[in-house]
Structure 1
Amino acid sequence: MIHEYALDPAVLISWADNDRDYSEFLREYGLGTPRIVSSFPKKKANKLRSYLLKNSPQNAQSLTGQRYTEMVLKIVESIVVRDVQENDGDDWAEAAIDENRRAPFDVILSAAEIREGNNVTPTSMYSQGSIWNHPGQINVSRTNEGLLAAVLNLIRLADDKVVIIDPFGWTSEAIGFIRFMLQSISSNRVSVGLPVIMLFYKEKRGSGMSGNGSPSADHVRQQIFHGLTGDVTNIQLEVFELRETENNDVFHNRCILTEHGGVITGHGIGVSGNEHHTDEVILMSPDIYQKKWQQFVEKNCFEKASDAKS
């Protein structure tokens, strides 16, 4: 539900000069949308910002120039970090073709048509069946394969953190999905490093009526690593068992977040394994994403019952 876009600077300039295109860009690209711009042809956000600003309209103080600068700053708030061989040449399209054949983008959005199957232009992107169109909500099978397919790009393109939030993230079904996800996390990546994986689940207190309580974070972490093979066994995994407190929000949502956005799921990561069972995966709006990121990552508004880190 998140897609990496190689964006031609010439397209950005043309959009800055048009009221409708400028407004659409602010609405349809960046955090909270399916379209995240690639760092290509650079490796880092600050280098991409400098590169794009060098291509700004001649009169930077004009309305077009101010819009262009605003668009560039929005792009670099959340980009897909791509390990590229930086090229200072002027032919953006030629460099995009070479990079696409090395490690394909989801979409190449260029000013003029280029001969790549994943290419669209400002003219063709509105055509019926265009690859520019992405759903904000999908129905998935409640199997490891079905759920992973829905969030694969979110996981694959993450360079910083993958945050899994599920009150029942400690169950065997949830642990099984995380294990399945981690075994696939190094495939088809566009950056060398692997993100930190953070799991937050809710403390369940056992009793004679409700059965066993939730296990400790250390136990859950050990269970996740059990049976994993290859380089993924060295991944940084942090697990947190959280307790609700008075005068704070309740812990009930199930979602997955990265630096590129987040999705909400109805049943969470504890899949049933039955292909006839389904769930909905919904792309988060920017305000809901920021709320969850602050609640769990930046401030952690709950009390820690236990935690386990690498």
Structure 2
Amino acid sequence: MLYEYAVDPKTVGASWENFRYLIEKFGFDKGRLISWFPGSWCREVFDTAKASDMKTIQLQRVTEKLSRAERYALVRNNRKYRPDLGSWLPNVLSQHHENPFRAIITSENPNGLDVVLLIDDLDEQHPLFSADVSWAAPRSAKGIAQDLRLFLVASKDIVIIDPFIDLRNHGADYTGPLREMFSVMTSAGRTNVKIELHFRTHSSRPPIEIVERDARRWLDGVIPNGCMVELYEWEEDRKLHNRAVLSERGGIASGEGFGVLADEASLDFSLLATSDSDERIRRHRPANNLLKLAQPAVRVDSDGTVKRI
């Protein structure tokens, strides 16, 4: 599961020991994400580190690791920093009241709050710091989207791989989860979102001419203004059995398909290693010629326009 933590930038940058310990505990592959709050979080970490007794070589490592963390460990969750509240902790507590963090990590806890974890006492066995990399998610449209929420709002574009995706909803509803995913992302302020759907060919699938004619109807009311869906139908390949939702941030594998069934079953999700998710995306890029398209890919825009790509 993915959890968002408020992590005090001054605590992170106070020493090389603090920085190295904390920065390595977070990532989309670890289940813990650092809230990019305030927007100057990375700069505040570095400024604090620069004012500490860190050596030049350590400061260089701080720069490198912060750059990597921006892509693989930090999440912007549409939070507003209020200068009138004063310092970091009052702002975090205000945000926690509106949209709870999993926990708050800092170096002092003047009010003795249970949600605050002190760096000196931090332990991966603590209930608020432990993170399961595998979990069961409700197999409903809203359940899938909500369990993927932090991943969705942090990602630029989404890649969904499921060999049995069928927007005609023959047996399972794939458009419901798609609609809810778009809703989660746009509600968080995301615009121009693209979701790619990658699936396996089958004799029952319609030819490209029918896809071009009917995709608008299949996705009616699903795609928000300015967003798009791309459809990729691949020739038979065993790698297409590896269902997952991916992005430039990482990936989450699923033991079952992303279509909603009437029996309200569950999905078994598990976080992917960064290298694994990157490789899966690379494999499904037509230009890389690692898989073969069964027919041309198409893009469906929010206004219903369907184009070959």
TM range (shorter): 0.7 to 0.9
- Equivalent residue for 1:267? 256
Contact 2:7–2:106 (8 Å) recurs in 1:
yes
Q: Do structure 1's residue 72 and structure 2's residue 101 form an aligned pair?
A: no
Q: Which residue of 2 aligns with 1:306?
A: 297
Structure 2 matches for 1:92-241, cutoff 5 A? 92-113=88-109, 118-126=115-123, 130-155=127-152, 157-171=153-167, 172=169, 173=172, 174-187=174-187, 189=188, 192-194=189-191, 196-206=193-203, 212-214=204-206, 216=208, 218=212, 219-220=214-215, 222-226=217-221, 228=222, 233-241=224-232
SS at match of 1:53: helix
* Equivalences, count: 287
Deviation, 1:264, is 0.5
Aligned-partner residue type, residue 34 of structure 1: G
Q: Does 1:55 align with 2:51?
A: no
Instruction: Output the CA distance in 2 between the equivalents of 1:298 and 1:196.
Output: 20
Q: Helix, strand or coil: the match of 2:66?
A: helix
Contact 1:17 1:64 in 2 (8 A): no
CA distance in 1, matches of 2:143, 2:11: 35
Residue 254 of structure 1 deviates from its aligned partner by 1.1
Partner residue in 2 for 1:285: 273
Identity of aligned residues (%): 19
Any conservation in 2 of the 1:194–1:235 contact (CA below 8 Å)?
yes
Q: Does 1:243 align with 2:231?
A: no
Distance in 2 of aligned mates of 1:252 and 1:110: 43
Q: Deviations over 1:254-309 (max 9, x none)?
A: 1112343211011220232313x343111111110111232336956443523123
Shift of 1:237: 1.8
Contact 2:5 2:104 in 1 (8 A): yes
d(CA) in 2 for partners of 1:52, 1:205? 52
Tell me the residue number matched to 2:304. none
Amino acid at match of 2:249: H
CA RMSD, 1 decimal: 3.4
Q: 1:196, 1:235 within 8 Å by CA — same for their partners in 2?
A: yes
Per the normalisation by structure 1, the TM-score is 0.76
Which residue identity does 1:76 align to in structure 2? E
SS in 1 for 2:251: strand
Any conservation in 2 of the 1:244–1:250 contact (CA below 8 Å)?
no
Structure 2 unaligned segments of length 5 or more: list them.
302-309
After TM superposition, give the deviation of residue 234 of structure 1 in Å: 1.2
The counterpart of 1:35, out of the listed 32, 36, 48, is: 32
Q: Distance in 1 between matches of 2:49 and 2:235?
A: 49
SS at match of 1:54: helix
Cα displacement (A) at 1:114: 5.9
Contact 1:144 / 1:273 at 8 angstroms: preserved in 2?
no
Partner residue in 1 for 2:5 = 5
Q: Distance in 2 between matches of 1:161 and 1:182?
A: 11
Native 8 Å contact 2:37 2:81 kept in 1: no
Q: Structure 2-normalised TM-score?
A: 0.76
Residue 76 of structure 2, aligned match among 67, 76, 81: 81
Code of the residue aligned with 2:275 in structure 1: it is D
Bigger mean CA deviation after superposition, 195-204 or 212-221: 212-221
For the residues of structure 2 that align with 1:163 and 1:205, how far apart are their CA atoms?
20
Within 2, Cα distance between the matches of 1:195 and 1:102? Answer: 27
Deviates more, 1:296-305 or 1:286-295: 296-305
Aligned residue type for 1:244: E
Structure 1 residues 120 and 287 mapped into 2: Cα distance closer, same or farther (>3 Å)? same
1:296 is matched with which residue? 284
Unaligned runs of 5+ in 1: 207-211
